[in-house]
Chain A
Amino acid sequence: MSAPTGKIALRLKDLTLSYDGHPAVHHLSGDVAQGALLAVCGPNGGGKSTLLKALTGALRPAGGAIELLACAPRDIAFLPQAADVDRSFPIDVFDLVAMGLWRRIGWLGGVSKAERARVREAVAAVGLTGFEDRPIGTLSGGQMQRALFARLLLQDSPVVLLDEPFNAVDQRTVAELLALVGRWSAEGRTVIVVSHDFDLVRRVFPQTLLLAREKIAWGDTAQALAPENLLAAQRMVEAFDRRAHECERAA
């Protein structure tokens, strides 16, 4: 795909990601421009979550490379599909959100008055004002997702990765969280969102990567999600082949 305004945030070079040798993402190449608002769509098992995991550095490429030009891997703000937050942990919303400051405060750093104000701003921005003192165990699913978005806000990262962030969240929450995503993009941050909701993607995201282990389409959303591409994506994800041959392109 082509970058609209020069600078590249991250570049995928013939990237292959695999589990036990079986590729989940196969020979994927492309650039993501700084400030891009990119949706990643595709069938289950198409490698979407795997791609995000690799971008954060949690999974090493089996082939090819990821070039992060905007920031270090640990500066990426990442919200996984099922964030493994222990909801029974006795901590309140304020402290949960404040953990987004980790890169700045680390093990021992104090939280300054200005940073406290930023935490409260973030809580307000996701519509949770008044919930600061509530234990996280008392939040609903949507409220928890809002709190996690507030934590992302505080991470203040040039690259934001969201994996299915709008699952099991009501319409109003989706709208408000989408407004935040729009704000990030307007601020020049690169936002990559995995989503199953084609309607939402068509409405909000200018660009889409349709991924079904291999790249089916990458570019303008309307074209990428054209019926023939969706059909091709469906066909790409064949059954897991135990006796798959070694990939010839790798040689």
Chain B
Amino acid sequence: MCDAPMCDAPMYDTLISPFVEFEFMRRALVGACALALAGSPIGVFLLLRRMSLTGDAIGHAILPGAAIGYLVAGLSLPAMTIGGVVAGLSVALLAGLVARVTVLREDASLAAFYLVSLALGVTILSVGGSTIDLFHVLFGNVLALDEATLIFLASASTITLLALAVIYRALALETLDPGFLASVSRAGGPATLLFLSLVVLNLVAGFHALGTLLCVGVMILPAASARLWSADVTRMTLIAMACGLFASAAGLLLSFHFNLPPGPLVVLCAGAWHALSLVFGRSGGWLRGLAPRRHLEA
């Protein structure tokens, strides 16, 4: 695979040299790592708030916005980003509003909105673009990240981590005991709203690299795996981040060596880690439940 004379050690060959030799691989690695760093703590909170599927729904909902951006300005980063953010936030907020003013629960109204959005997005794309464009939006292209996209991914990641640090306590308390938080402060509403905005921002950032269908994978899979290893939010977040970074690097390398699409392989690597966690996880994995452990005196 690598026939440069400096590649003598097989480890170096497989793990390092693809990134050293090819700029597109370096860009892909930086982009995927930025996504994983910000996406995994978001995923942890989605998981704890029982909103794992909400991420998926909003991910689909950004499609018509991105499609309209594409129709107006072609494959332009700002247009598709703004369109995606507007569409994602509107659907998230509208679903919340419908849940409040009608008898429908939030999951039902969210499902309705995202199904319509998805259909609308695909229709718009088929009117204005080719199948290749559609493929790009649905599955992204992590190997073709340009300067501007990379800067956008890094900025989104930085903003997400800083904002999460600010709302962390309020968000945790809103998730743990919303009634108590409401009785002592007004922080619950703004924290939830800001969190939803961060979810949308990360999904929009993610769709440039991994596409609308896969970007939820790098949020939820590391988070769900982390819960199987730790019952502490902080540790869960750190484990999820590590898992996200690992899956990014491993997925890109596998895609490079076996000539397979990178986006799905990143998600598949996270999935493989999730499968391992399901079986071996120290905090609630399958084996843990099977093994008859010695119990303590008190």
- Min distance, Cβ B179 to any Cβ of chain A, angstroms: 5
- Assess the B231–A83 pair: CB atoms within 8 A: no
Given contacts A90-B48, A92-B232, A99-B180, contact A107 B187 (CB under 8 A): yes
The interface on chain A, measured as residues whose beta carbon lies within 8 A of the other chain's beta carbons, has a size of 26
- How many A-B residue contacts, CB cutoff 8 Å? 65
- Assess the B183–A86 pair: CB atoms within 8 A: no
Give the dominant DSSP class at B's interface.
helix
Contacts of A58 in B (CB 8 A): 182-183
Interface residues of B in 57-113 (CB under 8 A from A): none
Q: Does A106 contact B (CB under 8 A)?
A: yes
- Assess the A91–B179 pair: CB atoms within 8 A: no
Q: Does B116 contact A (CB under 8 A)?
A: no
- Assess the B231–A99 pair: CB atoms within 8 A: no
Partner pick for A86 among B166, B176, B185, B231, CB 8 A cutoff: B176
The interface on chain B, measured as residues whose beta carbon lies within 8 A of the other chain's beta carbons, has a size of 25
Contacts of B265 in A (CB 8 A): none
Q: Does B227 contact A (CB under 8 A)?
A: yes
Contacts of A105 in B (CB 8 A): 169
Q: Does B181 contact A (CB under 8 A)?
A: yes
Q: Does B175 contact A (CB under 8 A)?
A: yes
Contacts of A60 in B (CB 8 A): none
A157 to B47, CA, bound (A): 34
- Assess the B232–A102 pair: CB atoms within 8 A: no
Q: Whose C-beta in chain A lies nearest to the C-beta of B283?
A: A90
Q: Does A80 contact B (CB under 8 A)?
A: yes
Q: Does B161 contact A (CB under 8 A)?
A: no
Q: Does A85 contact B (CB under 8 A)?
A: yes
- Min distance, Cβ A251 to any Cβ of chain B, angstroms: 31
Given contacts A86-B176, A89-B48, A89-B175, contact A74 B232 (CB under 8 A): no
> Could you list 30 examples of A-B contacts with CB < 8 Å?
A58-B183, A76-B183, A78-B183, A80-B179, A84-B177, A84-B178, A85-B176, A86-B48, A86-B175, A86-B177, A89-B175, A89-B176, A89-B233, A90-B48, A90-B231, A90-B236, A91-B172, A91-B232, A92-B232, A99-B173, A99-B177, A99-B180, A102-B173, A102-B184, A103-B184, A103-B185, A107-B166, A107-B169, A107-B170, A107-B187
Q: Which residues of A contact B (CB under 8 A)?
A: 56, 58, 74, 76, 78, 80, 83-86, 89-92, 96, 99, 102-103, 105-108, 135, 137, 151, 155
Q: Which residues of B contact A (CB under 8 A)?
A: 48, 166-167, 169-170, 172-173, 175-185, 187, 227, 230-233, 236
Given contacts A58-B183, A74-B184, could you give 10 more A-B pairs where the C-beta distance is less than 8 Å?
A: A58-B182, A78-B183, A83-B180, A85-B176, A86-B48, A89-B175, A99-B177, A107-B167, A107-B187, A135-B231
